[in-house]
Amino acid sequence: MDQSYYTGNLVAIPPTSNVLMTIANILATILSLYSLLIWLRIVLTWIKVPGQNAENPLARYLGKVVDPYLSWFRGISSLRRSRIDLTPLVALAVLSVVQSILRLFGAYGKLTVGMVFALVLQTLWSYLISPILWFLIILLVIRLVFCYKRSPNTIGYIKMLDTMIGGVMNWVQGIFYKNRAINDRQLVTTSVIFFVVLYFASSSLLRFLVAAFTKLTF
């Protein structure tokens, strides 16, 4: 996780509590390795060996280590949609926040409320908001391409995409074209532009908020 947003204005202080700072750095390293195991577990679930029906032995072993933690977040139904499960991102985001807090304490020997808020905002952006926005933008761009290359072969793909982003496009239509009839191409184009603008506006707002929080002295 990039810490450049919130460490730029910090001044290192003398290590008045070397033992606690060392423990914090060790715990941060352990959490970093654990996050890596979670990523490996996620990737291995995507890899299917042809002709092998049983779960990959390595994935099964990693599951025993990381699944108990991941199961804490699987109850968040709003982040689970058919084939898409975003709850591992939430789990990784939580680990990232704790890991970054430990690293900050290990480096500077102190924490402020502003630092913690900055960390939470940056983590939410890096692990949830930014990936979701980019995911929507990519799907909408693909959907727009199919608008211009509509054929019997692409109808199935269009229907599949609409099951994933149809609600988003309906929301955009409600904002810009309420009670108005528009064609499919215009709606998808507007949706792409809207989410690209939303991405950059959100990124700028994040930088402003993080800079403001890092100036807090309590």
- 144: CB partners within 8 A, 6+ apart: 185, 188, 189, 192
Indicate whether 190 pLDDT > 90: yes
Which of the four pLDDT bands, split at 50, 70 and 90, describes residue 200?
very high
Tell me which residue of 187, 90, 170, 176 sits closest to 132, measured CA to CA.
Answer: 90
Question: Which amino acid is residue 178, in one-letter code?
Answer: K
pTM over 0.75: no
The pLDDT, as a whole number, for residue 139 is 92
In terms of average pLDDT, the best of 14-28, 64-78, 142-156, 186-200 is 186-200
Which of the four pLDDT bands, split at 50, 70 and 90, describes residue 52?
low
| Interval 121-126 mean pLDDT | 87
- Percent above pLDDT 70 for the chain: 84
pLDDT per residue as tens digits for the range 3-20 = 444 444 444 444 456 788
Q: How does DSSP assign 160-192, residue by residue? A: HHHHHHHHHHHHHHHHHSTT----HHHHHHHHH
- Give the lowest-confidence range in 24-28, 77-81, 86-90: 77-81
Report the alpha-carbon distance of residue 92 to residue 75 in Å, rounded: 15
Report the alpha-carbon distance of residue 101 to residue 94 in Å, rounded: 11
Report the alpha-carbon distance of residue 63 to residue 73 in Å, rounded: 15
DSSP-based three-state secondary structure for 80: strand
Report the alpha-carbon distance of residue 74 to residue 16 in Å, rounded: 41
| Interval 69-79 mean pLDDT | 80
The pLDDT, as a whole number, for residue 1 is 43
Determine contact, residues 38/70, Cβ cutoff 8 Å. yes
Classify each residue of 17-44 as buried b or exposed e, where b means 16 or more C-beta atoms within 10 Å of its C-beta.
eeeebeebeebbeebeeebeebeebbeb
Q: 58 versus 54: which is more confidently predicted? A: 58
**Tokens 């577990």 found at:** 41
* pLDDT, mean over the chain: 82
The pLDDT, as a whole number, for residue 11 is 45
